[in-house]
Amino acid sequence: MVVVLIFGSKGFGFGETIQLLIVVFLFAVLSVVVYSVFSGVNDDLQADADLSTTAKAKLQDLDDRFPATMDGAFALIFGLLFLVGVVASLLFDSHPSFIVIIIVLMIFLMLAGGYLSNSWDEFIVDSSVSSFSSSFPYTSFIMDNLLLVIGVAMITFGGVIFFKQRS
């Protein structure tokens, strides 16, 4: 029942996997962009003489906590998606002859991950956001090593699908 609610009645296809990968990528990019904008606004508000010290302290606290919160949220989302993939792989029943099709789909997924990882690398070295990348260590690690992370996930999912006990 839970799998039907998460994946829909027709299952979880290859297109949805690419969509999830893009959503994770967009979450990473938006986290850095929002932090860079918020940090700039916070700097301007800290210099404003009309703003009370209490408001300035609260804004600075938000500015200090934002990167750790969003970085942790990114790692949590990525970890939970991995666990959902493992559970879905346990519930997925496939004949071993389909391994050729799955390997071809994995290659396409790795290509998409490579493009997203390269896009992340180009984005993060931009002068307007490069100073903020060190504030997101988990996000930067996962996105910099996205091909490796996807490869490990695919090997894990494939192992769960094809090497589980058949009854």
Name the pLDDT band for 136 (thresholds 50, 70, 90): very high
d(CA 133, CA 28): 10
d(CA 109, CA 42): 39
d(CA 64, CA 95): 51
Share of the chain above pLDDT 90, in %: 40
Output the pLDDT for position 163.
79
- Compute the average pLDDT of residues 32-43: 91
Higher pLDDT, 124 or 98: 124
Averaged confidence pLDDT in the chain:
84
d(CA 150, CA 106): 9
Please list, in sequence order, all residues whose beta carbon lies within 8 angstroms of the beta carbon of residue 34, skipping any fewer than 6 positions away: 66, 70
Higher pLDDT, 56 or 94: 56
Output the pLDDT for position 165.
65
Output the pLDDT for position 35.
93
Output the pLDDT for position 2.
39
Output the pLDDT for position 139.
93
| The pLDDT of residue 1 is above 60 | no
Helix %, strand %, coil % of the chain (to 5): 85, 0, 15
Q: Residue 166 in contact with residue 140, Cβ under 8 Å?
A: no
| The pLDDT of residue 80 is above 60 | yes
Output the pLDDT for position 20.
86
Q: Residue 58 in contact with residue 46, Cβ under 8 Å?
A: no
Higher pLDDT, 38 or 101: 38
pLDDT digits (tens, 9 = 90+) for 2-16: 344 344 445 556 677
